[in-house]
Amino acid sequence: MPVSVVFVSDTHVPKRARDLPGPLWDRIEAADVVVHAGDWVDVALLDDLTQRSQRLVGVYGNNDHGVLRERLPEVARVELDGVRFAVVHETGDAKGREQRCAAAFPDVDVLVFGHSHIPWDTTAATGLRLLNPGSPTDRRRQPFPTYLTATAEAGQLRDVVLHRLPVRPPRR
């Protein structure tokens, strides 16, 4: 059966936003699986996502400490309807990323990462697909806050969509 997935990273709640945007919460609650690639900042969001999602796969990021590092791994792996995923926060510099990640994760089909707040969707020569959903709360130099959705089905990742969220004024 197809598995609907929401990919999110670099939420930085409550430092960059008080909460996730409503449209993203709607997607989270409707999805089969939510994947978070780190930089939660506060354990309260981890608790909220755990309660409001059917299944949560997450890792800690460089801004996550204490309880977040106790409860989350640095690297997570999951198989969803035949698609093998790895999730990590940082992958290093954009230059050479595909080759480095393909060497580091030879046994997965999709690597989900965060850290840069820049959406990314490329495929390495080995076939490894690299996805970064950007950030739904801290767009930095990007025109819009973002997240990704997709469907895992019969060993294939389908219907990968980058969603743009409305730009909100910076939190003071």
Q: Going from the first residue of the chain to its last (172 residues), give the mean pLDDT of each consecutive group of 10, the final group possibly shorter.
A: 97 90 96 98 97 98 97 98 98 96 98 97 97 94 95 98 84 54
Query: What does the pLDDT read at residue 169?
Result: 62
Q: What is the reported pTM? A: 0.95
Domains with residue ranges and CATH for the chain: 3-164 (3.60.21.10)
Cβ(117)–Cβ(134) under 8 Å?
Answer: yes
Query: What does the pLDDT read at residue 15?
Result: 87
C-alpha 155/C-alpha 133 separation (Å) is 21
Give Cα separations from 128 to 39, 50, 59, 105, 152 (angstroms): 23, 28, 19, 8, 15
End-to-end CA distance of the chain: 45
Give Cα separations from 77 to 7, 94, 106 (angstroms): 14, 22, 12
Query: What does the pLDDT read at residue 35?
Result: 98
Note the residue count of the chain.
Answer: 172
Query: What does the pLDDT read at residue 38?
Result: 98
Question: In the block, which residue shows the tokens 């460089």?
Answer: 62
User: Is the link from the previous residue into 21 a cis peptide, with omega within 30 of 0?
Assistant: no
